[in-house]
Structure 1
């Protein structure tokens, strides 16, 4: 599951955020993501690593 790619909608659901908030965070570079054909995509493993960093702050 660590190589799974998620959409913005799936990330918002996973992090319990609105899609607008998730979009803002990734646009500001605060959430790890990348664009494919103009749409944001996220690696599950990157999100878990990001969560671990946020917990240690």
Structure 2
């Protein structure tokens, strides 16, 4: 099983959302992300678990 950190571009592709959405989720909704210098990195399992737990539900993301 591949267990590597994903870039912002890769996590956006995985979730089917824009980078603006991902940055908003990090800032406002606690999306699991790790800052490495100037870059954000993501653990796919952590993000998938966050989504399954309702972190990206419509009610949580509507401004």
Bin the TM-score by the shorter chain.
Answer: 0.7 to 0.9
* Structural mapping, 1:1-57, within 5 Å: 1=1, 3-54=3-54
Contact 1:2–1:43 under 8 Å retained in 2: no
Q: Larger Cα Rg: Structure 1 or Structure 2?
A: 2
Which ranges in structure 2 are unaligned for 5 or more consecutive residues?
Answer: 58-63
Query: In the TM superposition, what is the alpha-carbon distance from 1:28 to its structure 2 partner?
Result: 2.5
Under a length normalisation based on structure 2, what TM-score does the superposition of the two structures give?
0.71
Give the ranges of 4+ consecutive aligned residues of structure 1 lying more than 3 Å apart after TM superposition. none
Under a length normalisation based on structure 1, what TM-score does the superposition of the two structures give?
0.77
Which ranges in structure 1 are unaligned for 5 or more consecutive residues?
Answer: none
Aligned length: 56
Mark the CA change 1:4 to 1:49 in structure 2 (over 3 Å): closer, same or farther. same
CA RMSD of aligned residues (A): 2.1
Greater relative contact order (Cα < 8 A, sep 6+): 1
